[in-house]
Amino acid sequence: MDAIYEVHGLTKRYGRTAALNGVDFAVTPGKLVGLLGPNGSGKTTLMKISAGLLQPTAGSVIIDKVPVGVFTKAVTSYLPDRMALPTEFTADDAVSLYADFFTDFDKVKANAMLADLHIGGRDKIDSMSKGTQEKMQLCLTMSRAARLYLLDEPLGGVDPAARDYILSTILHNYSEDAALMLSTHLIGDIEKVLDEVILLQDGKVLRQVAVDELREETGGERGRLLPGGLQMLTKLLRYEFKSTGRVVLPIAAGVLVLNIFTNILSHFVQNTSDRLPLAGVAMALLALASAVSLLVVLAICFFY
């Protein structure tokens, strides 16, 4: 199948700093691709160039067999990582603006999704929380019948209770002849819905791999990020801390490890509590093991 989204030798420099350095990949229709990498790896720059908002220093982006330009903007639905609409707009104003600008925009679908999220038509953007603003923009973005969807951190400011709805919205609102790429740090939340992942670091592609292939390599189950995935994640975490000094991702990694061990713990107790009187002791030991794992991940991020 021919690629719907191709990137060839893409480079973007700001002075002597290369935000992107010879990026190459291709995405075929029907794929939901996760763009993963630490802050400063080039994710947002890549999406802005693909959306026609930035000019590359070198290389090219091809969407639906056409270089980025007026045509590709008409077939690409882009969700930026921040509010792009005038804050004095109401939700109805935003819907009307999208309907005027994009011929593939489905106004009925947009209003239905906004209603599901309890966003009223007269609600002003400047009165919405950051999370509500992001949910509104996502509804508008996914209400287009585009060929390519580019979502920059769609889950970044959204509360955990709304993430399942948003992931469901993403899954059910793009067609098989379209492709979708989203960037995120919340790997545990999206891993189960992805077809492929592209790992970026220092403006370069570390690897593009099918999620099913990654699971086969690591012996993982669907919906879980297991040893091989954790190894790649740890590499990204080390870079994140050493280059920025931030500890958000290491903490997120610790939560991820705890979630994995919690699942193992629950499975163990359910299958042994009726046969082993010491199941409670085993549960305590596994809880201790999860805590040790958290410390190991943090130690790797800080000292390795």
| Model confidence pLDDT, tens digit, residues 5-17 | 999 999 999 999 9
Cα(176)–Cα(51) distance, integer angstroms: 21
- pTM tops 0.75: no
Report, in angstroms and rounded to the nearest whole number, the Rg of the chain calculated over CA atoms. Answer: 21
- Per the structure block, which two tokens stand in for 47? 């999406």
Q: How far apart are CA 16 and CA 19, in angstroms?
A: 10
> Which two three-digit tokens encode residue 161?
């209770």
Pair of tokens at residue 14: 């700001």
In 3D space, the residue among 68, 211, 214 whose CA is nearest the CA of residue 148 turns out to be 68
pLDDT digits (tens, 9 = 90+) for 164-178: 777 777 777 777 789
* Dihedral sign, Cα of residue 130, residue 136, residue 139, residue 141: negative
**Phi and psi for 186 in degrees, rounded to 5?**
-85, 70
- The more confident residue out of 60 and 187 is 60
Q: Considering only CA atoms, which of 121, 110, 190 is closest in space to residue 151? A: 190
The confidence band for 1, taking pLDDT boundaries of 50, 70 and 90, is confident
> Of residues 301 and 142, which shows the higher confidence score?
142
**DSSP string for residues in 140-154:** HHHTB--SEEEEEST
Query: Any idea what DSSP says for residue 226?
Result: -
pLDDT at 282 over 90: no
- How far is it, in rounded angstroms, from Cα 63 to Cα 47? 12
With bands split at pLDDT 50, 70 and 90, how would you rate the model's confidence at 81?
A: confident
Is residue 78 within a helix (H) or strand (E), and if so which, with residue range?
strand 76-79
CA 51 to chain CA mean position, Å: 17
Looking only at the bridges linking them, the beta strands covering 196-201 and 32-36 are parallel
For residue 53, the 8-state DSSP code is: S
Give the CA count within 13 Å in the CB-facing half-sphere of 222: 6
